[in-house]
Structure 1
Amino acid sequence: MTDIWNFEMNQTVQSDIFIDFGSTSRFHFSLLGRAFFALLLYSLPAPATQDTTSFCSDVFGRNYGALIAEKPIDAMGRDFQEIFGGFIRTREATSENLEDLALDLFNARLALSRKYNTAFAQMMEPSGEAGWQKRWKGEGISQAWSFGIHGHLREGSVWRQLMERLPVEESHLEMIDSSIFAVHQSLEPSRTGIARVWHFPYEVGGQDVSFYIYQVNKNTFYIGHAKDKQVPLLRQRLRDLWQRAMFLELAGIERTTALFEFEWVWFWTNPFGRAGASLGDALSLLVQKQMERQGLPIRIRSDFENLDLVALSMHLEDYVQWRQNSGHFH
């Protein structure tokens, strides 16, 4: 989900599940172990140097590094802002290059983790293999999860926002087996219980690809992103929305509506299993930059914003309306 910046712990990890805890300015992640959860917190950043600011800024003096992440507090965070901010400043969105951009930026994020020997790369490339590619291609048997956990620095902010934003009247109670949160169910003890469930309906080509949030107790939310097998279908939908947002013949309101749906679908899909928030935000900013150049009445934000947290707590129509009314477009 979104972020704040701390630095990723230099720690080797083994995991059977992709879990995303943000990716915009802090990196946190939890691992579902064989019999329990081990929560690991990390972060990035450090104050950006003048060179970093210059490299990330455009002709309007807009520092994209500051838009994509909170103020860095260490060297890795500074590098993150340089990479993401420079990427947004120098790369151009076209109607056909969504996945090239996404793969390039994800690989840059992966290279950053390798440079600092952090768990992100170890998790994405277990045993030296590009495990993330299985999810990207729809060949995995997993599902990506994010969490809101009371009492934790990053996950605590997610928990608070979900507590505030999720209407209880839109939920239902459901008997669940907690093994649904594991990849290899046989490794998890069967624990049944009542969970409060929020349903976020979505269809692609007549196929149901709905998303769910589970509150298993008052202190813990599980946010279920797309299953691996659903990712190729959702990638096609993302490409369609991207092209619509880039289509010059459409009215501005139609293009921005497509862009906001793109954001919502990207955050929920989380196609690589991690880094969904920062990648989705950066890709959206590339389109917004292009719209601005084309003369659309767009106002690109001036500071960092946790778009993914908002998206993951709202139905699609509500999120699109919120974005249209947020003051970024006029």
Structure 2
Amino acid sequence: MTLSKSVSKRLKAQSSAPAFRDVYAAWFKDGCERNLNPFRPATAKSYKSQIETNVLPVIGDLPVDTVGNIVLKDLASKMKANGLAPATIHRNLNNIKDIRKFPNDGEKSLYPYDWNSRIIDAPAIDKKAQKRPIASAQAVQAALSCLCGTQGTKLLLAVLAGSGMRIQEALAIVKVDPAIGDGVVGNVWLPEKSKILVNAQRDGAAFGPTKTPAGMREVDLHPRLNALMLSEFDGTGYIFNRPESTYRDDLIRCGITGGFHSLRRFRVTHLRMQGIPDSLIHFWVGHEDASVTGRYTEVGIEIEKRKKLAEQAGLGFEL
């Protein structure tokens, strides 16, 4: 999957700008090390794999300022022919555009460009065709029985399916020692108030901000879920300390094959079936949606009403 030698030679002769692969290396290093919205480890791994496998072999040696609409049109066609999904192709193209504009003089990009999606003509993303697995109540119930005795995975399953939290948010749940007080990094669980204060994500040993500003929220727990957490974890510190992959393997072994996010979708679906207002569902799961953003503050301050609805909605499975 490469550009023709004649095209590559012509483009190289047009410019003395650095090669795309060199700019990519600087862009990737910056993305991993910067303070503002750094790449999460899983995201960095995905970007690195995609770009080094599907992009650099084709355009890596081109001067970065020659990577434009026609080059991306050719690359998109090649990626499609190689079986990449439209969403993956678009993600790669967006990263290429970001890499091109990365070199700067401290104030503005050295290589600005007017991108034209009609010229690039990348395959359209069919959202209906995208795989969005949702765990069923039966699958969750069966997995809970299957996971009895596993180190923390049963509790993690209950938390994910019963709260709608993202996996990286759940891995950051921490019970604080009152003697320590403030200053602990993570999502503080308050058993006495049956809720979790979400303000971070955890990926391995690294902590970062929530995925979006809406991710900073309070998650009201059903009393039975809160009670299970108390019975399974009576100490202080982070509740879930095994590698994410270990929890994933346990879930797959017990029938949850759609990934952690299938449990988040299960929770959202259950809440909708119980008639919970969309504004509150979005608040609890940290969804950013223009249609409900204006009501976030209103929902956030109605603590007693939220707690009542959390109990009324139930879990959708038995503990």
TM-score (norm 1): 0.23
Please state which structure has a larger fraction of its residues in helix.
2
The structure with the greater share of residues assigned to strand is 1
When normalised by structure 2's length, the TM-score is 0.23
Larger Rg: 2
